[in-house]
Structure 1
Amino acid sequence: MFVSGYLLQLDASNSEKISRLIDNITLGKVIQGVLLVVLAYWGQIFVAKIINWLAEKVPLKYRLKVKQSLPFWRAFVLGIVGVSLINLFLNLSADNILPLTGTIAVALGFAFKDYASSVIAGVLALFENPYQVGDRVKIGDDYGEVISYGLRGIMLQTPDDNIVTIPHNKLWTESISNANKGNLEAQTVISFYFSHDVDIENVFYLLYRVAQTSKYTQLNLPILVVMEEKPWATYFKLKCYPIDARDEFIYQTDLVRRAKRYFQRDNLPYPILPPLDNN
């Protein structure tokens, strides 16, 4: 009985404090709050433009480092505005904040469950670094460059120049493949197929030279040619790195175009697939 009475008294006290806080919300405070929200919105845009502009001006080796600072600056702006809003309406005192904490937590927990999950995953991702701005990642069926890291999710720019928004809570359910992990270079792998009677040493030499002489190749990183025998062909893979991961598909095109020119010159035999059995 004593505990029950104490809880009722505590609940009445909290209700009184909440009521008093609501009464203190004036039109002037609401207008200030709206202005702070607008300021946060434009602040996010301004920070993104400044960081992206600066990333293109600094030396190439620092470009990704500058871009990867964008989530921090966005969180910094949101943090300042968030604290200002709380101070505006709650005066940041324990007597004002504690009565609302439980109520707000329950309300937000039900109303924004998925959003909260994405935000928490985004915070964890800042420490675990499965992806950063500038990384080339594959999440589910989507592949592209991370061009934006927001509070709820990231934006990928695909090879077809589409923008895909992916919530951070995919961390819980999807595997994430990262091609460059914060580095400028991302390994490019190109497949070639030839007949079993092809001159293997010549193929190795040509593929290595094609990569070595490309203007896009990062020569400080290894160039590797590997092969595998298939029932219908000899399979070669050329593994090398472009100087800038953003040139991935231009680099692939350059390598394939120049390689096929040499293959045609040396009359290298391509595999002939057996006819399909329609019976």
Structure 2
Amino acid sequence: MNSTSALPHILKQLTLGSFLWMVAAVIAARMTTAVIKSVFTFLAEKTPPRWRIRILGWMPIARLAVVLATTAFIVSQLIVPSWQNVVALTAGAGLVLSFALKDYGSCLLAGVVTIFERTYQPGDWVEVKGAYGEIRSVGLRAVRLVTLDDTEVIVPHSALWDSPIFNATSGGHTVLCVAEFFLHPDHDGLLVKQRLREVAVTSPLWLPESDVVITAEEQPWGTKYRLKAYARDSREQRNFTTDLTLRSKAVLRELGIRPAQAVVAAR
């Protein structure tokens, strides 16, 4: 009796035709994911801000569907299609990822969980491990975000399992901006609060009908004010904060209010 006949027939005989089909499938998948990214980005840029985030949120799901479909096709070219063979191959692949590719497998698993839970999605402004920026893409292995200084940061999903994620937008298109002012204690606080509010609501970048909050805190060197207002578009947050700062300084100068003086410790 042939010893090989006792082994379960799992793998198909690999032919040149099957190999070429698998290569074509990988190339087609790469091209499709690139087209998906381009189309979703184009549509997001052409729609109002409230729809932009929703469109971008579906991009990782569409790309994941392409990856799963390609993987299923390649597997069908390698193994005999049966429930037992699929379970055996899945278990074997799981063992390989668990031991030989532990970190990479952890990244993939975290990526799949992130895509379905939507902890963060393209268009969100998040802070991860000290890096703050807009998420441009969510892949299976890592998330790519671009900071306010136009620096791309690539963070593996596995690094986010035990790290806090600060999401400033959470799927929305607006973001809270804060401008701080440090003033001499000798001034009319109610007047300052009123004028700072006027600066915020008259800004062309302010989100209409949103809240404007001004807080004041006394310090040994003077009074610290924080002007909090929502930008109409999260991508304009730096311009909005700059507008609040410069126009508020001009108003405070007109009121004759001096800035706080640094306290120099006596020797």
Confirm or deny a common fold (TM above 0.5).
yes
Q: Specify the alignment match of 2:194 in structure 1.
A: 205
Q: Specify the alignment match of 2:178 in structure 1.
A: 189
Count of matched residue positions in the alignment of Structure 1 and Structure 2: 265
1:222 aligned to which of 211, 214, 222:
211
Instruction: Check whether the contact 1:218–1:241 (CA below 8 A) recurs between aligned residues.
Output: yes
For residues 14 and 217 of structure 1, the distance between their equivalents in structure 2, rounded to whole angstroms, comes to 75
Instruction: Check whether the contact 2:215–2:227 (CA below 8 A) recurs between aligned residues.
Output: yes
Q: Specify the alignment match of 1:3 in structure 2.
A: none
Q: Specify the alignment match of 1:30 in structure 2.
A: 19
1:79 aligned to which of 59, 63, 68:
68
Q: CA deviation at 1:126?
A: 2.9
1:141 aligns with 2:130: yes
1:68 alignment partner AA: G
Deviation larger for 90-99 or 169-178: 90-99
Say which SS state the counterpart of residue 81 (structure 2) adopts. Answer: coil
Higher share of residues assigned helix: 1
Segments of 4+ in structure 1 off by > 6 A? 12-15
For residues 28 and 247 of structure 1, the distance between their equivalents in structure 2, rounded to whole angstroms, comes to 53
Mapping for residues 90-169 of structure 1, pairs under 5 Å: 90-169=79-158
Instruction: Check whether the contact 2:210–2:229 (CA below 8 A) recurs between aligned residues.
Output: yes
1:21 aligns with 2:11: yes
Mapping for residues 57-76 of structure 1, pairs under 5 Å: 57-76=46-65
Q: CA deviation at 1:210?
A: 0.5
Deviation larger for 132-141 or 98-107: 98-107
Q: CA RMSD in A?
A: 1.9
Instruction: Check whether the contact 1:190–1:237 (CA below 8 A) recurs between aligned residues.
Output: yes
* Cα pair distance change 1:243/1:28, threshold 3 Å: same
Say which SS state the counterpart of residue 231 (structure 2) adopts. Answer: coil
TM-score by length of 1: 0.89
Q: CA deviation at 1:263?
A: 1.3
1:174 aligns with 2:163: yes
Q: Specify the alignment match of 2:39 in structure 1.
A: 50
For residues 134 and 13 of structure 1, the distance between their equivalents in structure 2, rounded to whole angstroms, comes to 55
TM-score by length of 2: 0.93
Structure 2: tracts of 5 or more residues without a match: none
Q: Specify the alignment match of 1:236 in structure 2.
A: 225
For residues 128 and 179 of structure 1, the distance between their equivalents in structure 2, rounded to whole angstroms, comes to 17
Q: CA deviation at 1:14?
A: 10
